[in-house]
Amino acid sequence: MNQELLEQLSKITPEEERILEGNKAVDRSIYYRDAKTDCQQTKGTRQSTLSEQNQIDATLLLEKGKLIDIRPNTRFLHFPEHSHNFVEFVYMCQGSTTHIIDGQEIRLEEGDLLFMNQHARQEILPAKRDDIAINFIIMPPFFDEVLREIGDNTSTLTDFLISCLTEQDMGGNYLYFHASGILPVQNLMENLIWIMLEKPHGHRLLSQQTMVLLFLNLLSHMDQIVMPQDSYDQKLIMQLLTYINEDYKKATLTEFAEQCSLDIYSLGRFIKKHTGGTFKDLLMDRRLKQAAWLLSTTKLPIADVAVSVGYENTSFFYRIFKGKYGMSPRDYRLKGDAKSKHLKK
């Protein structure tokens, strides 16, 4: 990594100064939006509230309206187990750090990349002064554009991105790359960090497009990926999400059940249990996201957009689109045009 950039990233932060002065406790005001626990709550509700108290809140780390930002990994401190309401992406610039994710210990070395979705539980062991890592705080909608740009490339990486857009915890909540020997990835990471720090003209669009290039390069080096050991249930859910992502126009529960040699009724109950929704819900969500992308990036007539994602009935398409996005397809397109002009500023 560029030495000047590395020196900038290695500076002791005010938070780290307090730690070096002897305050070894996590400053909760930086990360957590603590909720008051009502003594009258039931035991189950109380446990849920206490769990939420250990969830790092994106609204404390991201400026309002931003989907992505970076901050240095805090050194010299043991960070107890916690979760995030955002996607976290860690890049090891120099040295090493040790993370315990969903009970599995992972040691990141220089050049490694670690991705965690919002369902992962993470603990971080103390890092030394020369152990420099950068944390990317990313809201799930940021990956909508990345997935659209990746297109039909299907892999463990795209499965993971899909899981980032899913509210239900389905396991397989992290993956990481041993990427130190992949020069294009290292160059893109350096460019991405520079963009996030310097914020040049058009930096929002630049950061998104650089992230797309990063993922496209990672897709070419899937042999360097390390995943948690998935159970049968987790693998089946990821297979389902991949099927819907690829064949959303014509996908059916019957066809997927046949591919898996499973009974359609049992499969339907399985999907509901593990995702919180039905096959129909998941399919509609994928179709509408594709429709939203087409409305934002093409001039296709709205009726053609509806047909291209699997809806022959335009009136029905209008109704469900408005139900999801709170506006008509036409208004969504107009809003997207205005946003595009803003990003180019």
Any idea where the domains of the chain sit in the sequence? 3-226, 232-343
For residue 272, what pLDDT is reported? 87
Would you say the CATH fold of 232-343 matches that of 3-226? no
Asked if residues 108 and 176 have their Cβ atoms less than 8 Å apart, the reply is yes
Lowest mean pLDDT among 36-45, 63-72, 130-139, 319-328: 36-45
Per-residue pLDDT at 134 exceeds 50: yes
Residue 38's pLDDT is 40
Four-residue CA torsion sign, 277, 283, 286, 287: negative
pLDDT at position 297: 87
Whether residue 236 is predicted with pLDDT greater than 80 in this model: the reply is: yes
Residue range 232-343 forms a domain whose CATH class is mainly alpha
Strand intervals (E) in 178-270? 225-226
Q: Assess whether pLDDT exceeds 80 at residue 147.
A: no
Mean pLDDT for the stretch of residues 86-91:
95
- pLDDT at site 343: 46
pLDDT band at 165 (very low <50, low <70, confident <90, very high): low
As a three-state string, the secondary structure of 279-312 is HHHHHHHHHHHHHHHHHHHCCCCHHHHHHHCCCC
User: Average pLDDT of the chain?
Assistant: 85
Give Cα 180 to chain centroid, integer Å: 22
DSSP 222: G
Does the structure show a pLDDT above 50 at 54?
yes
Question: What pLDDT does 221 receive?
Answer: 84
pTM of the predicted model over 0.75: no
Burial class (CB in 10 A: 0-12, 13-18, 19+), 200: exposed
In which band, very low, low, confident or very high, does the pLDDT at 245 lie, cut at 50, 70 and 90? confident
Tokens of 158: 């795209």
Q: Which residue has the higher pLDDT, 207 or 232?
A: 207
CB atoms within 10 A of CB 278: 14
Q: What is the pLDDT of residues 307-325, one digit of tens each?
A: 999 999 999 999 999 999 9
Lowest mean pLDDT among 20-29, 51-60, 103-112: 51-60
CATH of span 3-226: 2.60.120.280
pLDDT tens string 168-217: 565 568 888 999 989 999 999 999 999 999 999 988 889 988 998 998 88
Instruction: Compare 306 and 164 and report the one with higher pLDDT.
Output: 306
What's the confidence (pLDDT) of residue 53? Answer: 77
**How would residue 22 be classed by pLDDT, with cut points 50, 70 and 90?**
very high
